[in-house]
Amino acid sequence: MAQLSSSLTETTPTPEREQTLDSHVRSRIREEVARLREQEAEVQNEIARALEKENLKTEARIASTSKGDEEPGTGTVVASSASLREDVEEVRRRVERFQKRRELGVQGAENAREEVVKCYRCALYSLEETVG
């Protein structure tokens, strides 16, 4: 037991070391948040490009049907509306998937931060018991 308490006091980080570790953990968390934000921006750009592409396709379809490729009253407008609804639903699903991934990433960083804090508290509590 004496050996355990002496090894604890020998490995006790100094306040400077604790501060260094703390700043390192904060730095890692900031880096992870920045990475997640970059990833979010990429996904948003990807969604915008996909929407633009779909809009161009839809406009081309509408333009071709308005030029007389289809007979009037055949339900082309209804089909276009249905197609647009499907496109909107697809975009909605993509946004929901993105938001879920983003929430998981932020939660992961928060969980890691909490675990580090728990570790520090546990180590501090052990030191207090040993010293006190």
108 located within any domain = yes
34 located within any domain = yes
Residue bearing tokens 């501060």: 19
Q: Return the SS3 of 75.
A: coil
50 located within any domain = yes
- Global confidence as pTM: 0.40
pLDDT of 14:
87
pLDDT tens digits, 11-66: 677 889 889 988 999 999 999 999 999 999 999 999 888 888 888 888 887 777 66
Domains in the chain: how many in total?
1
27 located within any domain = yes
85 located within any domain = yes
pLDDT of 117:
85
Which of the pair, 103 or 92, is modelled with greater confidence? 92
Per the structure, the complete domain to which residue 76 belongs is given by 19-131
* 13 phi-psi bin (left φ>0, alpha ψ -120 to 50, beta other): beta
For residues 95 and 86, give the distance between their C-alpha atoms in angstroms, rounded to a whole number. Answer: 14
For residues 6 and 95, give the distance between their C-alpha atoms in angstroms, rounded to a whole number. Answer: 55
The tokens for 60 are 């081309």
9 located within any domain = no
pLDDT tens digits, 55-91: 888 888 777 766 554 445 555 555 677 778 888 888 8
